[in-house]
Copies of this chain bind each other. A is one copy, B any other.
Protein backbone atom coordinates (compact mmCIF):
# COMPACT_ATOMS: atom_id res chain seq x y z
CA UNK A 1 0.00 0.00 0.00
CA UNK A 2 1.51 3.25 -1.18
CA UNK A 3 0.12 6.24 0.76
CA UNK A 4 0.96 8.61 -2.13
CA UNK A 5 -0.66 6.62 -4.91
CA UNK A 6 -4.08 4.96 -4.68
CA UNK A 7 -5.14 2.69 -7.49
CA UNK A 8 -8.91 3.14 -7.70
CA UNK A 9 -9.94 1.06 -10.69
CA UNK A 10 -8.46 -0.91 -13.55
CA UNK A 11 -10.05 -1.85 -16.86
CA UNK A 12 -7.76 -4.23 -18.72
CA UNK A 13 -4.33 -2.66 -18.20
CA UNK A 14 -5.80 0.87 -18.07
CA UNK A 15 -5.78 2.42 -14.58
CA UNK A 16 -7.59 5.18 -12.71
CA UNK A 17 -5.74 6.37 -9.62
CA UNK A 18 -5.06 9.31 -7.31
CA UNK A 19 -1.59 10.69 -6.71
CA UNK A 20 -0.96 12.88 -3.64
CA UNK A 21 1.48 15.78 -3.85
CA UNK A 22 2.28 18.69 -1.54
CA UNK A 23 -0.05 20.95 -3.57
CA UNK A 24 -2.97 18.55 -3.72
CA UNK A 25 -4.11 15.36 -5.36
CA UNK A 26 -4.09 14.50 -9.05
CA UNK A 27 -6.62 12.19 -10.58
CA UNK A 28 -4.99 10.00 -13.21
CA UNK A 29 -4.78 9.35 -16.09
CA UNK A 30 -3.75 12.97 -16.54
CA UNK A 31 -2.28 15.21 -19.22
CA UNK A 32 0.05 17.98 -17.97
CA UNK A 33 0.13 21.24 -19.96
CA UNK A 34 3.67 22.57 -20.40
CA UNK A 35 4.56 25.96 -18.87
CA UNK A 36 8.15 26.17 -20.06
CA UNK A 37 9.20 29.56 -18.72
CA UNK A 38 6.77 30.00 -15.84
CA UNK A 39 3.73 30.42 -18.10
CA UNK A 40 1.63 28.03 -20.16
CA UNK A 41 2.00 30.08 -23.33
CA UNK A 42 -0.79 32.68 -23.75
CA UNK A 43 -2.78 31.50 -20.69
CA UNK A 44 -3.07 32.82 -17.16
CA UNK A 45 -3.76 30.76 -14.01
CA UNK A 46 -7.50 31.53 -14.19
CA UNK A 47 -7.61 30.03 -17.68
CA UNK A 48 -5.88 26.87 -16.44
CA UNK A 49 -8.31 26.54 -13.54
CA UNK A 50 -11.18 27.01 -16.00
CA UNK A 51 -9.79 24.17 -18.14
CA UNK A 52 -9.64 21.90 -15.13
CA UNK A 53 -5.85 21.53 -15.37
CA UNK A 54 -4.72 19.60 -12.30
CA UNK A 55 -0.96 19.79 -12.73
CA UNK A 56 1.36 21.67 -15.07
CA UNK A 57 4.97 21.16 -16.07
CA UNK A 58 7.85 23.64 -15.70
CA UNK A 59 11.17 23.31 -17.53
CA UNK A 60 14.24 23.25 -15.32
CA UNK A 61 16.60 24.15 -18.17
CA UNK A 62 14.68 27.30 -19.11
CA UNK A 63 13.92 28.48 -15.57
CA UNK A 64 17.51 27.89 -14.45
CA UNK A 65 18.81 30.10 -17.28
CA UNK A 66 16.05 32.73 -16.97
CA UNK A 67 15.03 34.13 -14.53
CA UNK A 68 17.21 31.73 -12.47
CA UNK A 69 16.21 29.13 -9.88
CA UNK A 70 17.77 31.05 -6.99
CA UNK A 71 15.84 34.16 -7.96
CA UNK A 72 12.64 32.06 -8.02
CA UNK A 73 13.54 30.57 -4.62
CA UNK A 74 13.81 34.12 -3.24
CA UNK A 75 10.28 34.77 -4.59
CA UNK A 76 9.01 31.82 -2.53
CA UNK A 77 9.23 29.21 -5.28
CA UNK A 78 7.69 28.69 -8.71
CA UNK A 79 4.11 28.28 -7.48
CA UNK A 80 4.14 31.66 -5.80
CA UNK A 81 6.09 33.35 -8.60
CA UNK A 82 3.60 32.36 -11.30
CA UNK A 83 0.54 32.24 -9.02
CA UNK A 84 -0.30 28.61 -9.62
CA UNK A 85 -1.34 26.85 -6.42
CA UNK A 86 -1.87 23.36 -7.79
CA UNK A 87 0.83 20.72 -8.43
CA UNK A 88 3.84 21.35 -10.67
CA UNK A 89 6.19 18.75 -12.14
CA UNK A 90 9.62 19.91 -13.22
CA UNK A 91 11.76 17.98 -15.65
CA UNK A 92 15.48 17.60 -15.05
CA UNK A 93 16.62 19.83 -17.88
CA UNK A 94 18.43 16.95 -19.54
CA UNK A 95 16.19 16.75 -22.57
CA UNK A 96 16.56 20.48 -23.31
CA UNK A 97 20.32 20.35 -22.92
CA UNK A 98 20.36 17.68 -25.64
CA UNK A 99 17.80 19.35 -27.91
CA UNK A 100 18.37 23.12 -27.49
CA UNK A 101 21.89 23.90 -26.38
CA UNK A 102 25.13 23.75 -28.26
CA UNK A 103 28.55 22.44 -27.31
CA UNK A 104 27.25 19.85 -24.90
CA UNK A 105 29.84 17.46 -23.44
CA UNK A 106 28.82 14.44 -21.39
CA UNK A 107 31.11 13.02 -18.71
CA UNK A 108 30.42 10.74 -15.76
CA UNK A 109 30.19 13.87 -13.67
CA UNK A 110 27.39 15.49 -15.70
CA UNK A 111 26.80 17.46 -18.85
CA UNK A 112 28.43 20.70 -19.84
CA UNK A 113 26.49 22.95 -22.21
CA UNK A 114 26.16 26.42 -23.65
CA UNK A 115 22.99 28.46 -23.07
CA UNK A 116 20.75 28.85 -26.12
CA UNK A 117 20.09 32.44 -24.94
CA UNK A 118 23.59 33.90 -24.61
CA UNK A 119 26.06 31.08 -25.20
CA UNK A 120 27.25 31.13 -21.58
CA UNK A 121 28.76 27.88 -20.24
CA UNK A 122 26.96 25.78 -17.63
CA UNK A 123 27.19 22.35 -16.02
CA UNK A 124 24.29 20.12 -15.03
CA UNK A 125 25.14 17.32 -12.63
CA UNK A 126 22.58 15.09 -10.89
CA UNK A 127 23.16 17.07 -7.70
CA UNK A 128 22.80 20.39 -9.53
CA UNK A 129 19.46 19.61 -11.21
CA UNK A 130 18.04 18.39 -7.90
CA UNK A 131 19.26 21.58 -6.21
CA UNK A 132 17.55 23.62 -8.97
CA UNK A 133 14.31 21.67 -8.59
CA UNK A 134 14.46 22.17 -4.81
CA UNK A 135 14.75 25.90 -5.46
CA UNK A 136 11.79 25.79 -7.84
CA UNK A 137 9.83 23.88 -5.20
CA UNK A 138 8.03 21.61 -7.66
CA UNK A 139 5.79 18.83 -6.38
CA UNK A 140 7.46 16.22 -8.57
CA UNK A 141 11.15 16.33 -9.54
CA UNK A 142 12.67 14.28 -12.32
CA UNK A 143 16.13 12.72 -12.24
CA UNK A 144 18.85 13.73 -14.69
CA UNK A 145 19.05 11.28 -17.57
CA UNK A 146 20.47 11.10 -21.05
CA UNK A 147 17.69 10.94 -23.60
CA UNK A 148 19.20 8.61 -26.24
CA UNK A 149 18.48 9.95 -29.72
CA UNK A 150 16.55 7.87 -32.26
CA UNK A 151 19.01 5.86 -34.33
CA UNK A 152 21.66 5.50 -31.62
CA UNK A 153 23.49 2.16 -31.87
CA UNK A 154 23.60 -0.52 -29.22
CA UNK A 155 27.05 0.36 -27.91
CA UNK A 156 26.11 4.01 -27.45
CA UNK A 157 22.78 3.10 -25.85
CA UNK A 158 24.44 0.69 -23.45
CA UNK A 159 27.02 3.22 -22.33
CA UNK A 160 24.34 5.88 -21.96
CA UNK A 161 22.17 3.54 -19.92
CA UNK A 162 25.00 3.09 -17.43
CA UNK A 163 25.32 6.86 -17.05
CA UNK A 164 21.55 7.28 -16.64
CA UNK A 165 21.44 4.69 -13.85
CA UNK A 166 24.42 6.21 -12.05
CA UNK A 167 22.87 9.69 -12.29
CA UNK A 168 19.51 8.40 -11.02
CA UNK A 169 21.24 7.01 -7.90
CA UNK A 170 23.02 10.30 -7.28
CA UNK A 171 19.74 12.23 -7.68
CA UNK A 172 18.04 10.01 -5.09
CA UNK A 173 21.00 10.42 -2.74
CA UNK A 174 20.75 14.20 -3.12
CA UNK A 175 17.14 14.29 -1.87
CA UNK A 176 14.91 11.95 0.12
CA UNK A 177 11.13 12.17 0.13
CA UNK A 178 10.19 13.75 3.44
CA UNK A 179 12.92 16.39 3.39
CA UNK A 180 11.95 20.08 3.29
CA UNK A 181 9.28 20.57 0.66
CA UNK A 182 8.24 16.92 0.71
CA UNK A 183 8.87 16.81 -3.06
CA UNK A 184 8.32 13.55 -4.95
CA UNK A 185 11.04 12.27 -7.27
CA UNK A 186 10.53 10.08 -10.34
CA UNK A 187 13.17 7.87 -11.93
CA UNK A 188 13.41 7.57 -15.74
CA UNK A 189 13.79 4.35 -17.72
CA UNK A 190 15.88 4.67 -20.89
CA UNK A 191 17.45 1.98 -23.10
CA UNK A 192 16.75 3.36 -26.56
CA UNK A 193 15.04 0.99 -28.95
CA UNK A 194 16.59 -2.25 -27.64
CA UNK A 195 14.13 -4.28 -25.62
CA UNK A 196 16.73 -6.03 -23.50
CA UNK A 197 18.31 -2.68 -22.64
CA UNK A 198 14.87 -1.30 -21.72
CA UNK A 199 14.43 -4.36 -19.45
CA UNK A 200 17.83 -3.77 -17.92
CA UNK A 201 17.20 -0.05 -17.43
CA UNK A 202 13.80 -0.70 -15.83
CA UNK A 203 15.37 -3.18 -13.40
CA UNK A 204 18.18 -0.79 -12.49
CA UNK A 205 15.94 2.25 -12.05
CA UNK A 206 13.33 0.26 -10.09
CA UNK A 207 16.05 -0.87 -7.71
CA UNK A 208 16.20 2.75 -6.57
CA UNK A 209 13.20 3.77 -4.45
CA UNK A 210 11.43 6.53 -6.38
CA UNK A 211 7.89 7.83 -5.84
CA UNK A 212 7.15 7.23 -9.53
CA UNK A 213 8.71 5.91 -12.73
CA UNK A 214 8.87 7.53 -16.15
CA UNK A 215 9.51 6.26 -19.64
CA UNK A 216 11.97 8.52 -21.43
CA UNK A 217 13.50 8.47 -24.89
CA UNK A 218 10.24 7.74 -26.71
CA UNK A 219 8.57 10.04 -29.24
CA UNK A 220 12.02 11.20 -30.35
CA UNK A 221 11.55 10.66 -34.08
CA UNK A 222 10.87 6.92 -34.30
CA UNK A 223 7.76 5.52 -36.03
CA UNK A 224 4.50 5.13 -34.13
CA UNK A 225 4.85 1.35 -34.45
CA UNK A 226 8.32 1.40 -32.90
CA UNK A 227 7.11 3.61 -30.08
CA UNK A 228 4.09 1.42 -29.35
CA UNK A 229 6.20 -1.70 -29.49
CA UNK A 230 8.67 -0.32 -26.96
CA UNK A 231 5.87 1.04 -24.77
CA UNK A 232 4.13 -2.33 -24.78
CA UNK A 233 7.37 -4.02 -23.80
CA UNK A 234 8.38 -1.64 -21.04
CA UNK A 235 5.21 -0.53 -19.25
CA UNK A 236 4.44 -3.96 -17.70
CA UNK A 237 7.93 -3.98 -16.18
CA UNK A 238 7.09 -0.99 -13.98
CA UNK A 239 5.72 -1.49 -10.44
CA UNK A 240 1.92 -1.44 -10.22
CA UNK A 241 1.88 0.65 -7.05
CA UNK A 242 3.72 3.64 -8.46
CA UNK A 243 2.58 6.26 -11.02
CA UNK A 244 3.88 5.74 -14.57
CA UNK A 245 4.73 8.75 -16.67
CA UNK A 246 5.27 8.69 -20.45
CA UNK A 247 7.38 11.76 -21.20
CA UNK A 248 6.89 14.11 -24.15
CA UNK A 249 3.80 12.48 -25.62
CA UNK A 250 0.63 14.38 -26.43
CA UNK A 251 -1.14 13.34 -29.65
CA UNK A 252 -4.67 12.08 -28.93
CA UNK A 253 -4.04 8.43 -29.84
CA UNK A 254 -0.61 8.45 -28.14
CA UNK A 255 -2.41 9.30 -24.91
CA UNK A 256 -5.04 6.62 -25.38
CA UNK A 257 -2.42 4.05 -26.40
CA UNK A 258 -0.45 4.90 -23.29
CA UNK A 259 -3.50 4.68 -21.04
CA UNK A 260 -4.46 1.37 -22.61
CA UNK A 261 -1.04 0.00 -21.64
CA UNK A 262 -1.23 1.30 -18.08
CA UNK A 263 0.41 4.74 -18.26
CA UNK A 264 -0.93 7.35 -15.81
CA UNK A 265 0.71 10.65 -16.75
CA UNK A 266 1.65 12.51 -19.94
CA UNK A 267 3.07 15.87 -20.97
CA UNK A 268 3.79 17.46 -24.32
CA UNK A 269 4.12 20.87 -25.99
CA UNK A 270 2.12 19.51 -28.95
CA UNK A 271 -1.34 20.87 -28.07
CA UNK A 272 -0.05 24.34 -27.18
CA UNK A 273 2.44 24.56 -30.06
CA UNK A 274 -0.10 23.21 -32.56
CA UNK A 275 -2.61 25.75 -31.28
CA UNK A 276 -0.25 28.59 -32.08
CA UNK A 277 0.27 27.09 -35.55
CA UNK A 278 -3.49 26.88 -36.14
CA UNK A 279 -3.72 23.08 -35.93
CA UNK A 280 -6.61 22.13 -33.71
CA UNK A 281 -7.87 18.83 -32.34
CA UNK A 282 -11.61 18.29 -32.53
CA UNK A 283 -14.11 15.49 -32.06
CA UNK A 284 -14.28 15.31 -35.87
CA UNK A 285 -10.53 15.10 -36.38
CA UNK A 286 -7.80 17.69 -36.92
CA UNK A 287 -8.77 21.13 -38.17
CA UNK A 288 -6.27 23.43 -39.86
CA UNK A 289 -7.99 26.73 -39.11
CA UNK A 290 -6.14 28.72 -41.78
CA UNK A 291 -7.79 26.76 -44.61
CA UNK A 292 -9.94 28.80 -46.98
CA UNK A 293 -12.92 26.47 -46.44
CA UNK A 294 -13.44 28.00 -42.99
CA UNK A 295 -13.52 31.58 -44.24
CA UNK A 296 -17.29 31.90 -44.00
CA UNK A 297 -17.97 29.02 -41.60
CA UNK A 298 -20.26 30.27 -38.83
CA UNK A 299 -20.18 27.02 -36.89
CA UNK A 300 -18.09 26.43 -33.77
CA UNK A 301 -14.64 24.89 -34.13
CA UNK A 302 -15.94 21.70 -32.50
CA UNK A 303 -19.70 21.27 -32.07
CA UNK A 304 -19.09 18.71 -29.29
CA UNK A 305 -16.81 20.99 -27.28
CA UNK A 306 -17.81 23.09 -24.28
CA UNK A 307 -14.66 25.24 -24.05
CA UNK A 308 -14.78 29.05 -23.99
CA UNK A 309 -13.58 29.22 -27.60
CA UNK A 310 -16.20 26.83 -28.96
CA UNK A 311 -19.01 28.28 -26.86
CA UNK A 312 -18.39 31.78 -28.22
CA UNK A 313 -16.59 32.03 -31.52
CA UNK A 314 -17.05 30.83 -35.09
CA UNK A 315 -14.51 29.11 -37.29
CA UNK A 316 -14.71 32.20 -39.52
CA UNK A 317 -13.63 34.44 -36.63
CA UNK A 318 -10.88 32.05 -35.50
CA UNK A 319 -9.58 31.88 -39.07
CA UNK A 320 -9.60 35.69 -39.30
CA UNK A 321 -7.65 36.03 -36.02
CA UNK A 322 -5.12 33.47 -37.25
CA UNK A 323 -4.64 35.09 -40.66
CA UNK A 324 -4.42 38.58 -39.12
CA UNK A 325 -1.82 37.23 -36.62
CA UNK A 326 -3.87 38.55 -33.68
CA UNK A 327 -2.52 37.58 -30.25
CA UNK A 328 -6.03 36.45 -29.30
CA UNK A 329 -5.67 33.68 -31.89
CA UNK A 330 -2.96 31.97 -29.82
CA UNK A 331 -5.04 32.25 -26.68
CA UNK A 332 -8.36 30.98 -28.05
CA UNK A 333 -6.67 28.13 -29.94
CA UNK A 334 -4.63 27.13 -26.89
CA UNK A 335 -7.73 27.13 -24.68
CA UNK A 336 -9.42 24.80 -27.12
CA UNK A 337 -6.55 22.36 -27.68
CA UNK A 338 -5.84 21.99 -23.98
CA UNK A 339 -9.55 21.59 -23.22
CA UNK A 340 -9.74 18.90 -25.87
CA UNK A 341 -6.85 16.85 -24.48
CA UNK A 342 -7.82 17.31 -20.83
CA UNK A 343 -11.36 16.28 -21.71
CA UNK A 344 -10.13 13.28 -23.71
CA UNK A 345 -8.22 12.06 -20.68
CA UNK A 346 -11.09 12.82 -18.27
CA UNK A 347 -13.30 10.75 -20.58
CA UNK A 348 -10.77 7.91 -20.47
CA UNK A 349 -10.80 7.97 -16.66
CA UNK A 350 -14.58 7.87 -16.64
CA UNK A 351 -14.59 4.99 -19.14
CA UNK A 352 -12.17 3.02 -16.93
CA UNK A 353 -14.55 3.40 -13.98
CA UNK A 354 -17.38 2.18 -16.17
CA UNK A 355 -15.46 -0.79 -17.64
CA UNK A 356 -15.77 0.54 -21.17
CA UNK A 357 -12.28 1.83 -21.87
CA UNK A 358 -11.84 -0.41 -24.94
CA UNK A 359 -15.00 1.01 -26.53
CA UNK A 360 -13.85 4.54 -25.72
CA UNK A 361 -10.46 3.75 -27.27
CA UNK A 362 -12.02 2.33 -30.43
CA UNK A 363 -14.35 5.29 -30.79
CA UNK A 364 -11.40 7.69 -30.87
CA UNK A 365 -9.33 5.35 -33.01
CA UNK A 366 -12.04 5.81 -35.64
CA UNK A 367 -11.46 9.57 -35.57
CA UNK A 368 -7.68 9.62 -35.08
CA UNK A 369 -6.36 6.55 -36.96
CA UNK A 370 -2.78 7.34 -35.85
Contact = CB atoms under 8 A, between A and B. Distances in A.
Contacts of A39: 321, 324, 326-328
A73 to B, nearest CB: 11
Interface string A327-345: 1101110000000000000
A154 interface: no
Contacts of A331: 42, 44, 327, 331
B327 A327 contact: yes
A30 interface: no
A323 interface: yes
A170 interface: no
Contacts of A327: 39, 41-42, 327, 330-331
A61 interface: no
Contacts of A45: 312
A236 interface: no
A316 B39 CA distance: 14
Interface residues of A, number: 36
Given A42-B327, A328-B42, A320 B66 contact: yes
B44 A320 contact: no
A210 to B, nearest CB: 31
A308 B44 CA distance: 10
Interface string A217-232: 0000000000000000
A75 interface: yes
A41 B326 CA distance: 7
Contacts of A295: 67, 71
A298 B312 CA distance: 36
Interface in A263-320: 295-296, 298, 308, 312-314, 316-317, 320
A323 B37 CA distance: 11
Contacts of A314: 75, 81
Contact of A38 (B71, B74, B308, B320): B320
A114 interface: no
Contact of A41 (B317, B328, B332): B328
A38 B317 contact: yes
A57 to B, nearest CB: 15
30 contacts: A37-B326, A38-B317, A38-B321, A38-B326, A39-B324, A39-B326, A39-B328, A42-B327, A42-B328, A43-B328, A45-B312, A46-B308, A66-B323, A66-B324, A67-B316, A71-B295, A74-B296, A75-B296, A75-B298, A75-B314, A75-B316, A75-B317, A81-B314, A82-B317, A83-B312, A83-B313, A83-B317, A327-B327, A327-B330, A331-B331
Closest 5 CB pairs of A and B: A42-B327, A67-B320, A39-B328, A37-B324, A39-B326
